[in-house]
Structure formats: C-alpha cells, structure tokens
Structure 1
Amino acid sequence: MRSEKDGIPQWDREEIEKKLEDESIAFVDVREPDEYEEGHIPGVPLLPMGEIPEHIEQMDKDKTHVFICRSGGRSQKVARYVNEQGLERAINFEGGMLSWEGETKSGKEKRVNDTSDLYK
C-alpha cells in the first residue's frame, strides 16, 4: 500500500516487488558496503548514504528513484535530501530490507562509481 511521510511517497514490500523490473525506476541501496554484501535485492546498486551528495548533480531529475536501507530510516532521510535538491520523484522503501521477503544476493554485485551506473 502506498502512503506518504514528510512529503515523501512510501512504498511497501509488495509495491517494490511489483515495480522492481520497471526500467523507468532507479532503485538505490543506500546502506554501507558491509550491510549490502550481507544481502541485497539482486540488481539493485549500492550508493552509500554518505556518497549521495557527490552524485546528486548527475542524477536524472526526470527519473523516479526508490531508496532502500535496512529499515527505511536512512532511505527516508536520503529521499528527503534528494527531493530538496530537485529530485522530485524520490520514494522511500518503507520497512527496508527488514521487511523484504523476496530473493536476496550476498557479496559485492553492483557499486555505483559513476552516476550512470544507476541507470544500467
């Protein structure tokens, strides 16, 4: 079910599962590398929360971005931050990985080094 918190749309696990294959949406895991390597949603790239400011200018303002963390707290902060910077289509994964019941992958998979890595 969709809801909103502090002006940021919130998607739950079911909404994420439905939209995961939608190439018009950029899913971004904002946890730390060790958390990501323990288990993440396959295909979702890692861009740690602390690195968002250095990539914000190159992020596609016309694209929807869904931010993911462990429980939904950090990703909410990131979604609010990028929204304030002009990314108006920022969404938080409410409940985060703690609520994820789908497939996960461990280890390093996809780390964002260049912002274009978000859109592949």
Structure 2
Amino acid sequence: MEILQWLIVIIAVVIVVKFFMPTKGISNINTKEAKDKFKAKDVQFIDVRTPGEYKKNHQKKFKNIPLYNLAGRTNELDKSKEVIVICQSGMRSAKAARILKKQGFEKVTNIKGGMSAWR
C-alpha cells in the first residue's frame, strides 16, 4: 500500500512540473520587445483572445485567431516565419504557443503579461 501512495505522489509531481515548465523552443518577451518586432517582415502577430475582446482593444499588427479556433486555422500561418502570440494576460497565449509548437512551428514567442501589460 505504501508503494502505491509514493507512486501516486511521484506521478502528481511529474504532472505539476510538466504543466508549469516552459515548453522547449518557446520564447517569452515583454510588450516593449514585441513593439520592436513590428518592424520585422518575417514575423506573424496573432491575438488569441475572443473576437469580443479583440474588438474592444487590440494592436493593429495582430490578427485575431481565437484560441478555441487556433488548432484548426494554423494553415493560415507560415511555419517558416516567427509567430508572436498575445492574449489578455499571457496564459491563453502560452497555451497557444504550445499548440503551435506541437503543430511544427519552429519559432514561437509568447508576450508576457499580454494586453494587460501593453502601454
């Protein structure tokens, strides 16, 4: 019985660590660094918030592809170009970045703090 308890604890720890560890190959930048990337031609900017959130406040460079549609719309993006993702706080965009990496995108960047940190 004691071995089973330890096994459950170890599995739980592995799951928690895996959830909070950054995904390999995903960069994180702040909003100033994101603004600096606006000049680059080989960068795609994606806002993964809902259409309502996007309509209320967004940056013009960002295309709205809501997180719940992202996996089915990656064909609209160029895998050879960097993809920078944003949401309201950085949580959904981090999830979006993981989706993009799993679908074969090489250079994926998440904006820390999201639109809440945008000035």
Q: TM over 0.5, yes or no?
A: yes
Distance in 1, Cα, partners of 2:86 & 2:105: 16
In 1, Cα distance between equivalents of 2:28 and 2:112? 6
The C-alpha deviation readout for 1:55-105, integer Å capped at 9, x for no partner, is 12453111100001001000000001110110021110111000000xxxx
2:2 is the alignment partner of 1:10: no
- Aligned letter for 2:73? H
Matches of residues 1-120 of structure 1 in structure 2 within 5 Å? 5-7=22-24, 8-101=26-119
Which has the larger share of helix? 2
CA distance in 1, matches of 2:64, 2:76: 16
Task: Indicate the structure (1 or 2) with the bigger Cα radius of gyration.
Answer: 2
Structure 2 residues not aligned, in runs of 5+: 1-20
Q: Specify the SS of the correspondent of 1:5.
A: coil
Computed over aligned residues only, the root mean square deviation of the Cα atoms, in angstroms, reads 1.5
User: Distance between the aligned counterparts of 1:69 and 1:37, measured in 2?
Assistant: 13
Give the conservation status (yes or no) of the 8 Å contact 2:38–2:61.
no
Gaps of 5+ in 1: 102-120
Query: For this pair of structures, how many residues does the alignment match?
Result: 98
| Partner AA of 1:86 in structure 2 | G
Runs of 4+ in 1 over 4 A off after TM superposition: none
- Helix, strand or coil for the counterpart of 1:19? helix
